[in-house]
Amino acid sequence: GENVEQHPSTLSVQEGDSAVIKCTYSDSASNYFPWYKQELGKGPQLIIDIRSNVGEKKDQRIAVTLNKTAKHFSLHITETQPEDSAVYFCAAYSARAGTYKYIFGTGTRLKVLA
Amino acid sequence: SAVISQKPSRDICQRGTSLTIQCQVDSQVTMMFWYRQQPGQSLTLIATANQGSEATYESGFVIDKFPISRPNLTFSTLTVSNMSPEDSSIYLCSTRQGVDEQYFGPGTRLTVT
């Protein structure tokens, strides 16, 4: 079945450095790719998303890129801060034949070291 | 985005008992979803709850174990029945805005002893 692979599972960076998390999806019908940040004890928060008609999207220190041919999309966080420490989930969404499926990646635990 | 609240935020329950989790949205939404997140794991969809129709369950989840109600466009409940320690998880309610943007509630942290 469809799946989304996410790497790495854990990532430690020094404050101020950049962090990159990568996802690969299998369903070619996927057309929407959100990223969620989940802090300890909280629900996932939508932080950025990208649709299949766009190759890159940026919002302040975070950006997402999409390569439809390779079925890859990535989250880039620049100038990381301790408050960026959290678990990040990617997801791929597709709508086919009246069903609407979100497939989530397995998560990346990001630690920003002060 | 919609504001979603859940009650309770956490609970510790004995095996064999049942717990009902409430989800309230601050605006009317067509589709509501219930997810389970086991410790350190990703999100698994339990069921989709549309107002006025029976919930649709994903493979591996059954109505007898996870009955769902959706009495109106802003509210839903999920019951975890006859609980066992394997049911210890975070249970998340979510809604979708527009075509595909999905938002989550804060979650209910359930521990079964």
CA-CA distance, A43 to B70, in Å (whole number)? 21
Among B11, B21, B34, CA closest to B88 = B11
Percent of chain B with pLDDT over 90: 85
What is the predicted pLDDT for the residue at B22? 98
Task: Judge whether residue A9 has pLDDT over 90.
Answer: yes
Residue of B34, B100, B104, B109 to mutate, testing the A interface (most A Cβ within 10 Å of its Cβ): B100
Judged by CB atoms closer than 8 Å, whether chains meet at A106 and B41 is answered as yes
Chains A, B: CB pairs < 8 Å: 42
Of B67 and B101, which is predicted with more confidence?
A: B67
Facing residues of A39 across strands? none
Contact between B4 and B104 (Cβ < 8 Å) = yes
Task: Judge whether residue B95 has pLDDT over 90.
Answer: yes
List the single residue in A with minimal CA-CA distance to B102.
A46
Cα dihedral B31→A34→B22→B24 (10° resolution): -70
Terminal C-alpha separation, chain A: 41
Q: Give the B-side interface with A, CB within 8 Å.
A: 1, 4, 31, 41-43, 45, 92, 96, 99-107, 109
pLDDT tens digits for A11-32?
999 999 999 999 999 999 899 9
Among B53, B57, B90, B91, CA closest to B73 = B53
What is the predicted pLDDT for the residue at A98? 65
Task: Judge whether residue B99 has pLDDT over 90.
Answer: no
Task: Judge whether residue A97 has pLDDT over 70.
Answer: no
